[in-house]
Amino acid sequence: MPREPARFGPRPTTPPATSRARVKPLTPASGAWRPGDDPGRRQFADVGGLELEGGGLLPAVTLAYETYGTLDADGRNAVLVLHALTGDSHVAGPAGPGHVTAGWWDDMVGPGRPIDTDKYFVVVPNVLGGCQGSTGPSSPAPDGRAWGARFPRVTTRDQVAAEIRLARALGITTWQLVAGSSMGGLRALEWAVMGPEAGVEVRGLAAIATSAQTGADQIAWSHPQLAAIRLDPGWHGGDYYDQPDGHGPHAGLAVARQIAHTTYRSAQELDTRFGRLPQGGEDPMVDGRYAVQSYLDHHGDKLARRFDANSYIVLTESMNTHDLGRDRGGVEQALTQITARTLVVAVDSDRLFPPAQAARIAAWVPQADDLRIITSPYGHDGFLIEFDQLGPIVRDFLEDLDVAERVRAQA
């Protein structure tokens, strides 16, 4: 099952003549992990061809994933953790060969942590359509070239269908917990419906800073992000993987990230943290930047160096398709089909996935606990920052699931 995908060509390294829009020079055309790169902790599973919800077929799908801990003999201590838009399978551990950043939920997953890898076998896949080892636009198509913009549209349900096949490949028939935040929460909710239909039990569900259905406001925020990438001359219609360093769609991807990052934080935090301060050494009255502009430039450049613009498009469009109630009688009816004991957590200052959307989940899932609210000035990113609040909530929920499992086993 674990394997190393075949190499399909080196990255070009010709330096650019110029750079654009405050993006540093020598940024690779894509920050995607490519076959032949150091795999780091990644493992790979071929899950076969996948018929897509919107029509068409992906002829061969590979999912990259990481595991932490050991699966019990009875296979009932497995936990699935699902990442957000620009996350990946590297949920915990340091940066290093194969991993340009440290684990994105390092305070949550590990020995003695809320999702305790001394107790649980944690599986973290890179999402279908992503750029860190799973099949996506930067992967080789059947003709050996990168898919690029030819990569088909995939939905949240397509992504979960691929992950269900990964569970089967790993021999997992029960998840003690499926946990996801933001985009990961969209998939976690679909898992709670699709998993049992496919014969994979979902005993516990943690839906954090997420929604049962993307709304017009969320789709509206995504629209200029997609346009920024597609209007970048370096996008080359999505076929930029053979471009020299510095000639990919870096400026467009950076602007997309800046727009998104504004929705990830709260107005209160930005005003308190930056106010109208100028960036050090610059004068906003003479073509200089305010500190908050420099902050957004930094995050845009950072993402352009580690992510792939086509994957950003594919995953953003997949989020736009998310509607748990599609062909299930509406959102409320779909939520009533979830049989898992459910934890729903919202961040009070979240303007991307407002608490009212989480409250809707908690109100309609039959076995949902009362909605839990994290108090934070950080907005949506509170799920990545407020571990002193989120950690105990998740730990207590898992302990309750364990107690219920022991009672059931003794009955």
Q: Is 257 annotated as a binding residue?
A: yes
Instruction: Let me know if residue 32 belongs to a domain.
Output: no
| Residues linked to residue 174 through DSSP beta bridges, in sequence order | 201
Treating both helix axes as pointing N-terminal to C-terminal, what angle do 250-264 and 216-230 enclose, rounded to 10 degrees? 160
20 is in an annotated binding site: no
In-domain check, residue 28: no
Amino acid at 347: V
Single out the residue of 212, 256, 172 nearest to residue 357, CA to CA. 212
Q: Any idea how long the chain is?
A: 411
| 3-class secondary-structure state, position 394 | helix
Residue 267: CB atoms within 10 A of its CB come to 12
Residues in the chain where the model's pLDDT stays below 50 = 1-23
Q: Catalytic annotation on 350?
A: yes
Half-sphere exposure of 184 (CA within 13 A, CB side): 26
Tokens linked to 258: 């800046």
Residue-level pLDDT at 24: 54
Q: pLDDT value at position 410?
A: 81
Q: How many domains does the chain have?
A: 1
| Cβ neighbourhood burial of 392 (10 Å; 0-12, 13-18, 19+) | exposed
Residue 11 included in any domain: no
The pLDDT assigned to 383 comes to 97
| CA 18/CA 55 separation, integer angstroms | 42
Supply the DSSP string of 158-194, one letter for each residue. Answer: HHHHHHHHHHHHTT--EESEEEEETHHHHHHHHHHHH
Beta strands 115-116 and 43-51 are unpaired
Rounded Cα distance between 358 and 346, Å, is: 6
pLDDT, position 282: 95
63-82 pLDDT, tens digit per residue, is 999 999 999 999 999 999 99
Q: What is the pLDDT of residue 406?
A: 84
* 118 noted as active-site residue: no
What is the tens place of the pLDDT at every residue in 86-118? 999 999 999 999 999 999 999 999 999 999 999
Question: Does residue 309 lie within any of the structural domains?
Answer: yes
Q: With CA atoms as reference, report the closest residue to 306 among 91, 89, 33.
A: 33
What is the domain extent for residue 90? 43-410
DSSP lists the bridge partners of residue 204 as 341
For residue 247, indicate whether it is catalytic. no
Task: Note whether residue 2 is domain-resident.
Answer: no
For the stretch 184-237, pLDDT in tens is 999 999 999 999 999 999 999 999 999 999 999 999 999 999 999 999 999 999
- Provide the CATH number for the domain around residue 235: 3.40.50.1820
Phi then psi dihedrals of residue 144, to 5 deg: 90, -15
Task: Write down the pTM of the prediction.
Answer: 0.93
Residue matched to tokens 């608490």: 355
Active-site annotation holder among 134, 182, 211, 376: 182
- Pairwise CA distance, residues 182 & 315, whole Å: 12
Determine, yes or no, domain membership for 151: yes
Angle subtended by helix axes 267-274 and 291-306, to nearest 10 = 120
Which residue from 84, 151, 186, 156 is spatially nearest to 321, judged by alpha carbons? 156
Q: How far apart are CA 174 and CA 72, in angstroms?
A: 12
> For 120, phi and psi rounded to 5 degrees?
-115, 150
Quote the CA–CA distance of 42 and 50 in Å, as a whole number: 22
Side chain identity at 257, as an amino acid letter?
R
Q: Considering the domain boundaries, does residue 25 fall inside one?
A: no
From CA 139, how far away is CA 191, in angstroms rounded? 25
Examine residue 27 and state whether it is found in any structural domain, yes or no.
Answer: no
Note whether 63 and 128 are within 8 A (CB).
Answer: yes
pLDDT of residue 8: 31
Quick check: 121 and 70 in contact, CB under 8 A?
Answer: yes
